[in-house]
Amino acid sequence: MRTLSFRTPFWLRLRCNRLALMGALIVAAMFLLALLAPLTGRDPAAIDIAAALLPPSWQYPMGTDDLGRDVLTRILFGARISLLVGFVSVGIATLIGIVLGAVAGYYGSWVDALIMRFVDVMLCFPTFFLILAVIAFLDPSIWNIMAVIGLTGWMGVARLVRAEFLSLRERDFVLAARALGAFDMRIIFRHILPNALSPVLVSATLGVAGAILTESALSFLGIGVQPPTPSWGNMLIVGKQTLGSAWWLSAFPGLAILLTVLGYNLLGEGIRDALDPRLNR
């Protein structure tokens, strides 16, 4: 087995991880399928009662639902929704977590105590139930879902960034920047932050999987993406109602969720291992 050292480039270490490559291929495939969704030539919301609940066939590879809509087309368009929710919500959470964690870790003292106590308070609330409570007062739109998931998922990133800043703020390159008269914001975002992004990258990759699961759960409960807009979660609602007679309505959306979440988890674990060569055996 090939031995990897600290000097081995990141991409080479990642390429040597077969599970990470498998995750990357799954993620890339989902992106490609989402981009190519319009090429099916079918409207995901088009109703054809005469073709309702048809099993998988050459004409409909994944069958049709109770309104005669093509399941494959809806899954492909649903991939767009899931990936959009995942990336936008994680982007919001990462941005908030980076800013608060950087400020807390760099300044320390009462600033650190105040921000970390706020983080502790936020962590006291079960995230999913907090999202349910907030969504109950808002319109169940995709934009509200992305905002709420992002605004309730930044605490872990803030803790990671704070920990990195606490270990980096007294390094020689930071002391040299201070001696040259650099402003605090320049030191934080130009000198320290680039060296503290490794765990954030791993957290963001894994966070996309969590956001997709959360959106699917909200849509399944009927307070997420609303029909006729296709979402893997709201497709499972129809599958639940016809589970005994139309298995494909639950199997294919569930499989899409499973593969996507698995792909991001494998990729995230691979990135973590590649960024920390000490984990390689």
pTM of this prediction? 0.87
Pick from 154, 150, 135, 147: which is nearest to 224 by CA? 135
How far is residue 152 CA from its own chain's centroid? 13
Which amino acid is it at 125? F
Q: Are 76 and 235 in contact (CB under 8 A)?
A: no
Q: What is the pLDDT of residue 6?
A: 45
Strand partners of residue 70: 64
10-37+66-279 maps to CATH 1.10.3720.10 = yes
Higher-scoring residue by pLDDT: 261, 133: 261
| Number of Cβ within a 10 Å radius of residue 143 | 12
CB-count exposure of residue 261 (10 Å: 0-12, 13-18, 19+): buried
d(CA 151, CA 146): 9
Which amino acid is it at 215? E
Overall average pLDDT of the 1-17 stretch: 62
Strand partners of residue 64: 70
Pick from 55, 28, 72: which is nearest to 259 by CA? 28
The mean predicted confidence, pLDDT, of the chain is 87
CA dihedral 15, 16, 17, 19 (to 10 degrees): 70
How far is residue 225 CA from its own chain's centroid? 16
Query: Residue 46: which residues within 8 A CB-CB, separation 6 or more?
Result: 69, 70
Alpha helix segments (H runs only) across the chain: 10-15, 18-35, 71-107, 109-124, 127-136, 142-151, 155-168, 172-179, 184-186, 198-220, 232-241, 248-275
Q: What are phi and psi of 13, to 5 degrees?
A: -65, -40
Q: What is the pLDDT of residue 115?
A: 95
- Binning pLDDT at 50, 70 and 90, where does residue 5 land? very low
* Distances from the Cα of 216 to the Cα of 32, 147, 151, 248, angstroms: 20, 15, 18, 17
What does the pLDDT look like over 39-60, one tens digit per residue?
888 889 889 898 889 999 999 9
